Structures are given as structure tokens and as C-alpha cells.
Chains A and B, each alone.
Chain A
Amino acid sequence: MSGAPAGQRHPLLRMIAARLGIGVFTLFVISTLIFLAISLLPGDIAQQVLGQSATPETVAAFRRELGLDQPLFWRYLDWIGGVLHGDFGQSLANGRPVAALLAARLGNTMFLAAYAALIAVPLAVTLGLLSALWRGRMFDRITNVLTLSAISLPEFLIAYILMFLLAVRMGWFPSIADPGASPGFGEMLNRTFLPAITLVLVVTAHMMRMTRAAVVNVMGNPYVTMARLKGASRWRVVTRHALPNALAPIVNVVALNIAWLITGVVIVEVVFVYPGLGQLMVDSVTNRDIPVVQACALIFAAVYILLNLLADVVAIAANPRLLHPR
């Protein structure tokens, strides 16, 4: 297909636009789901908050206050409209605005996730490459067993083992990751080291295995054999011939695993009593503080969807066939 420069860029932009559209639509569907999950399920929030002893009048008044007497559709519009303006309603447990509760903790969670990701990504990609390079050798076999074991461990076991060894036995790091009142950056890094390194161990294993698989997959192609036959060194074959073609799947793997961090964060925050979003969500689930659970779920879901979207877009953009359409 021949065409003007505008026509050549078109397919790429169109695919990215399509992915963005799907992402926004998914987010909309998920927000509806999160809203409906709470509204359609058995049990009346007002009755539960006030307890069985409440008179029908107080329950009715409280329902009116929460807006539960309005039709479902209006409640959804009201809720999503508020969310888009940063108003997540009020906590049932203590009456404080949910947005204020979230604001304090979202930063902490983001800090922890970014800390873990900055260590895990370079580590996992390097190890994955080496293991693909030395496929079938000792290094590969040992990492295979180690990563398979790491994947099978519950996050809280890794967390407690690290806490036991590094905090209790060695006393190098605090066993409770409470950032306290505005610590310095270095102090913060030290205090959150244990939760971060737990996340690194959990995520690296996954990311490394997937990176290895992606590179091994590319290494099976005829052009790699060709490069070997013309006398290129193993390292050169991997970095110059295999890696550029494995880039798209690797980027995908990285984004997917950073999204995976989100699940790990919930448990790790609980273990180290770290005041983040995950701990807030677990506490709110136990208290059945529905507005807070909804807000947390929406934020986690939005981050997850955005990261997956980013991975797709980068994977599309990194594909030479789409960059230079014929």
C-alpha cells in the first residue's frame, strides 16, 4: 500500500486510539460494576450501620441522608459525578470524607510501589536475559528452580522471613514500616526497605520467567540462527538481533508485573503495618465501610487498567511492522 506520510502514520495512531477507547470503556464498565456490586447485593447498608435495634424511622432517615431512596441510575450519576470531581463520599465508620483518607495514603502506596519497581525491573530483565542466553546450563536451571519456588511462596511468608532475618536477628531495618511524621527521603528509603524488597522478590520471579520466555521465543527464529551462522558472538546475537524483537513482549511483561505489584502491596502493607491504600482497603472490608472500599477498588482498578493500556500502546509502538507499514 503506497501513500502519503499522513497515510503511513495512520494505522499506528488508529490502533492506539482504539486501545485508548477500549481502556476508557473498560474503566466505565468497571466503575458501574463497583457501584452495582454494593447496591444490588443483599443487606441494607443503613440497617447494618445502625444495627438491628434501630427503629424503622431512623433507618429511613439515614437512607434518605445517604440518598438510598433515589433511583439506582441517579445514584450512579451522582456517585460517578462526585468521583470525577474528587469527591468519594463519606466514610461510614467515622464520617470523614473518603477523599481525605485516600489522599494521605495514596502517596505512601505509590512511593512503595515505585521503590520496588525501580529495583525489580532492571534486575528481572537482566536475569531473564542471562538465563535465556545460558539456556539449559547450570545458571538457567538454578534460576528456574529458585524462581518457581519464589512464585509459589505466599507473599506474607517472604515478608516475615525477611522481617525475622533482617529486622529481628540483624536489627538492620525497622520491622514496622511506619513513615511517621514527614521523615527525610533517606530515612523513608530505610524504613520502607523491607516491604519494598519483599515486593521485589515476589515480582522479580514472575518478571524474570516471562522475560526469559519472550527472549527464548525470539531466539527460535531463523534470523537468529542466521546471525549465529555468520559468526556473531552469543552476546551480540542476543542484544542486537533478539532483544529488539523481544522488546514489545518484555515491555508488556514489565507493565503486567507492575500491575501485579498492586495485589502484593495489599498484603505487604498489612504485614509491615504500612499506612497505605491496601491496608486501608483491608480495614474497610473488615468494617464493611462500603464507600471507602468502593473508592479503593476504583483507584486500584484504574491504575491496573492504565498500566495495561500503557503496555499495549508501547507494545504497538515498538512493533516495527506497525511503525513502517508497507
Chain B
Amino acid sequence: MTRLAKLLRTMPPTAVFGLIVIVIYLVVALSAPLFAPHGQAEIVGAQFEPWGEVYALGTDALGRDMLSRLIWGARNTVGVALATTAIAFSLGAVAGLLAAALGGFVDLVLSRAVDVMMAVPPLILTLLALSALGPGVLNLILVVALLDSTRVFRLARATAMNVMVMDYVEAAQLRGEGTRWIILREVLPNISAPLIAEFGLRFCFVFLTISALSFLGLGLPPPMADWGAMVRDNAALITFGDITPLLPAACIAVLTISVNFVIDWMLHRASGLKE
């Protein structure tokens, strides 16, 4: 407990801010039905009602309550991004560790495949894949996860390679331990710090990608509240000097900035405060 208190005390203000914001988002996302005054697809009034007593942040192009949709959006958008990151991360980490541990042919094939995927901007490949597969949440999650796993693969492979040449790994191999044991007991514990930081970075990246795609009209299907699509649907209001459409975009930005602040601090700590 004292170590935790000390850790919190030595945190820079940006990291504290980041952590607090992340916790708030998680609470709102988990208990969206408690906070939201209305349902996400519920039409409660006229189009584009102004901010006021009845509708705190007004209504959208279809007359749905903006505040409620923002709250539901936290659950939907963050949920989809988290699921995608988790898939991308497991896929990339497992493939990267296997490539490092097995080497040879497996490593060659996986690495070349990743090289090819990384030779093209991810957004372009995502658009290509979505036009072939058709839109839909599942396709969106799988495509973004697969393309993003390439970055995790690179990092996992590179860090695991460094550990694989250590004496204790050789000792384990000579003892006759299997690949699985070596990966889980020797390699993974030693590369967990960079991998955890990478998870945060990947989350930011995936979150922004998915928001961008839903802004482009390729995100979650319509009745669901989704921050990127909410910006697109209400963008016309901006030309009338109303900033409501910027709110969902700001929700996206505040979360990614917070996560980045926390990661920045973690990386700084992991690098032994070199700078």
C-alpha cells in the first residue's frame, strides 16, 4: 500500500489526470443505462433541439437525446475498440512469440507476411477489405484487429528475440523444456513491460482508426450510438455556429490524450528516467 501511495505521489500531473479520466470513462461505459436519461435509439423530441432544461445537450438530426447518445457511445465505441485491441494484441503477441521461439521457416513466413501488410497504409487496406467483405461490426473488428496486430507482432518478436539468446533460455532448452514452457515461463515475464505499454498505444491507435472509419460511414450499424458517426450525422450544425457535433469528437480526443499521458509516463519510468 505504501508503495502504491509513493507511486501515486511521484506521478506527474499529466499521468494523474490521464488515470482519473480513464477511470471515469470506464465507469460511464459500464453503467451507461444508469446515467443515460434516454435510450440510444429512442426518438424523444424534434430535430436539432437547442441545449436546455429538457435536453441537456439538445437533440440530433433524428430527434434523439444527444447526452444519452454520448453516454451510450462510451459503451459502444470504447467497447468495440477494446475488443479489437484485445484481439489484435493476442494475435500479434502469440504470432510474434512463436516466430521468435520457433525461428526458421515459421519466422520467415510470418515476418514476410507482416512486411507486406505494413507496406501499405493501414487505412487504405482497411477500406479495401471492408469494400470486399461488406460493412458490419464483426468485419470491422476483425479487419482492424488483423492489420493492427502487425505492429504488435514486430514488437513482440523483436523483444522476445533479445530474450531468446539469454543463457537462462538456453539452460531451459538444455533441460528439455518445451516451446510452450519457454515462451510462458522464460520469455513472457521478461517482455511484459514493453508489451503493456504497447497495449495502451495500440488501443489509442485502434480507437482513432475505428472512430475515423465510423466517421466515414463504415462503423457500427446506424441505431447504435457511435461517437465517430455522431460527428458525421450532425456535422451540418457546425456551419450554423453550433459546436454540438464537436462533443463526440472531443470525447474521443480526451480519452486518447489521457491514455497517451499515462503511457508516456510508463515508458519514461521503464526507460529508467534516462532523459
Of B216, B241, B259, the most chain A CB neighbours within 10 A belong to B216
Q: Is the CB of A304 within 8 A of B120?
A: yes
Other-chain residue from B121, B204, B249, B252 in contact with A300 (beta carbon distance below 8 A): B121
Other-chain residue from B121, B132, B257 in contact with A262 (beta carbon distance below 8 A): B121
Q: Is the CB of A154 within 8 A of B208?
A: yes
Q: Is the CB of A301 within 8 A of B119?
A: yes
Q: Is the CB of A37 within 8 A of B238?
A: no
How many A-B contacts at CB < 8 Å in the complex? 144
Q: Is the CB of A164 within 8 A of B116?
A: no
* CB contact list, B226-262 vs A, under 8 A: 228, 231, 235, 238-241, 243, 245-246, 249-250, 252-253, 256-257, 259-261
Q: Is the interface of A mostly helix, strand, loop or mixed?
A: helix
Q: Is the CB of B127 within 8 A of A267?
A: no
Q: Is the CB of B121 within 8 A of A136?
A: no
Q: Which chain A residues lie closer than 8 Å to B239 at the CB level?
A: 163, 167-168, 175
- A281 adjacent to chain B (CB < 8 Å): yes
Q: Which chain A residues lie closer than 8 Å to B231 at the CB level?
A: 156-157, 160
CA distance A149 to B260 in the complex (A): 8
* CB contact list, A284-326 vs B, under 8 A: 284-286, 288, 290, 293-294, 296-297, 300-301, 304-305, 308
Q: Which chain A residues lie closer than 8 Å to B133 at the CB level?
A: 41-42
Other-chain residue from B123, B125, B238 in contact with A163 (beta carbon distance below 8 A): B238
Q: Which chain B residues lie closer than 8 Å to A308 at the CB level?
A: 119
Other-chain residue from B127, B208, B245, B256 in contact with A285 (beta carbon distance below 8 A): B127
Q: Is the CB of A164 within 8 A of B241?
A: yes
Per-position 1/0 for B13-45, Cβ under 8 A of A: 010000000000000000000000000000000
Other-chain residue from B122, B131, B216, B243 in contact with A164 (beta carbon distance below 8 A): B243
Q: Which chain B residues lie closer than 8 Å to A288 at the CB level?
A: 131, 134
Q: Which chain B residues lie closer than 8 Å to A175 at the CB level?
A: 238-239
- B169 adjacent to chain A (CB < 8 Å): no
Q: For the side of the interface on B, what is the size category?
A: 35 or more
- A138 adjacent to chain B (CB < 8 Å): no
Q: Is the CB of B14 within 8 A of A293?
A: no
- B218 adjacent to chain A (CB < 8 Å): yes
Chain A's nearest CB lies how many Å from the CB of B158? 17
* CB contact list, A157-173 vs B, under 8 A: 157, 160-161, 163-164, 167-169
- B84 adjacent to chain A (CB < 8 Å): no
- A33 adjacent to chain B (CB < 8 Å): yes
Q: Is the CB of B235 within 8 A of A160?
A: yes
By the criterion of a CB under 8 Å from any partner CB, how many residues of chain A are at the interface? Answer: 55
- A259 adjacent to chain B (CB < 8 Å): yes
Q: Is the CB of B216 within 8 A of A270?
A: yes
**In the complex where A154-B215, A168-B238, A288-B134 touch, is A263 in contact with B120 (Cβ < 8 A)?**
no
**In the complex where A148-B261, A293-B127, A293-B128 touch, is A305 in contact with B119 (Cβ < 8 A)?**
yes
Q: Is the CB of A297 within 8 A of B124?
A: yes
- B110 adjacent to chain A (CB < 8 Å): no
**In the complex where A259-B121, A262-B121, A263-B121 touch, is A157 in contact with B246 (Cβ < 8 A)?**
yes
Chain B's nearest CB lies how many Å from the CB of A130? 16
Q: Which chain A residues lie closer than 8 Å to B83 at the CB level?
A: none
Q: Which chain A residues lie closer than 8 Å to B259 at the CB level?
A: 152
CA distance A38 to B128 in the complex (A): 8
Closest to B14 in A: A145
Q: Is the CB of B257 within 8 A of A149?
A: yes
Q: Is the CB of A164 within 8 A of B246?
A: yes
Q: Which chain A residues lie closer than 8 Å to B59 at the CB level?
A: none
- With A152-B204, A154-B228 known, 8 other A-B pairs at CB within 8 A are A148-B264, A157-B253, A266-B127, A285-B130, A285-B131, A288-B134, A300-B124, A304-B121
Considering the complex of A and B, which 9 residue pairs feature the smallest CB-CB distances, nearest first? A157-B249, A152-B256, A285-B131, A152-B257, A41-B132, A263-B123, A301-B120, A293-B131, A300-B124
24 pairs, CB–CB < 8 Å, chain A vs chain B? A26-B119, A33-B116, A38-B132, A135-B275, A148-B260, A151-B260, A152-B253, A152-B259, A154-B253, A154-B256, A157-B250, A163-B238, A164-B241, A168-B241, A262-B121, A263-B124, A267-B215, A267-B216, A282-B216, A285-B127, A288-B134, A293-B128, A297-B124, A305-B120
